[in-house]
Structure 1
């Protein structure tokens, strides 16, 4: 009788994080929709069906603000950064296809973005996320992000939260978080 097959470390897919290539862009909306399904209890259905327009991904790609998690050269996750009008980088989205979840890819993607922000000498990086999704705020807090109180929001972040509200995201369920560049002797 054959023994049951157990997944071993050698059988796990290998992943790498890198800046995106043009050929990666068509995969991103599929990842975005699949990853968004995890947020179904927290976001209205129309928002869950939204995808980032391909030209926005391509603009981020050209500017070096789009990263992918690859396995066998196929994207299974991504991180997308937009620049706010002031030039402040904003982590627009991190998505990992659920079939590749729990592999540390989200952490590796966010770390790549923070490393980029440091190399670019950005003092900070912001994001918005769901306050009540139990896996969101703690995930980002573990990576050094802190909640930005409403009274500390710059006008462009207030406008971003208002834009999200216009799409159906309840501002009371959203949180703005900030990561600040570490001060180093070599900085």
Structure 2
């Protein structure tokens, strides 16, 4: 496992996020029907800067200070919603994503939020299965609230395949969803 430091993201970090997201997307080339994602557009610096201003985004840095991963989230209603978790391709599968995720979940719990939500790809090892191992549950369609449904609708409108998307939730304070 690579030794990294996890810290809150700073506004100047946003400039690095698109390149990290692009590198992270290379892993999609291993899935034939999703390989196109490796060449799709990433979120922009201003979009990431706005998420950083929300105060719930973290970065993973190597010992020499290189940013190699990030998690961007924001509080939505009574939950923390993860918008993006990305690790540079060469540093994937070393536990760095899990460290970022654990940091965000701990922060959400300390902030007395009811849970953590996200949308991701169904049946992809480093997406749905990764989050399931971290305590997230895939929500059946009848438990996807209007906020998550709207996020998924937006993602599908941007070209993500509806049959491959799912919403996930990890309860923190045992509030019923």
Shift, 1:14, TM fit = 2.8
Q: How does 1:13-162 map to 2 (within 5 A)?
A: 14-40=3-29, 41=31, 42-43=33-34, 45=36, 48-71=39-62, 72-84=64-76, 86=77, 88-162=79-153
Structure 1 stretches of at least 4 aligned residues deviating more than 4 Å after TM superposition: none
- How many residues align? The count is 171
Q: Write the distance in 1 (CA, Å) between the matches of 2:35 and 2:90.
A: 23
The gaps in structure 1 that reach 5 residues or longer are: 1-11
Match of 1:8 in 2: none
Q: Deviations over 1:100-124 (max 9, x none)?
A: 1222100000001101111111101
The normalised TM-score by structure 2 is 0.87
What do you get for the CA RMSD once the two structures are aligned?
Answer: 1.9
Q: Deviations over 1:144-187 (max 9, x none)?
A: 1001110011111111111111011111111111011156xxxx
SS in 2 for 1:90: strand
Work out which of the two has the higher radius of gyration on C-alpha atoms and give 1 or 2.
1
1:180 aligns with 2:165: no
The normalised TM-score by structure 1 is 0.83
The gaps in structure 2 that reach 5 residues or longer are: none
Shift, 1:47, TM fit = 7.6
SS in 2 for 1:43: helix
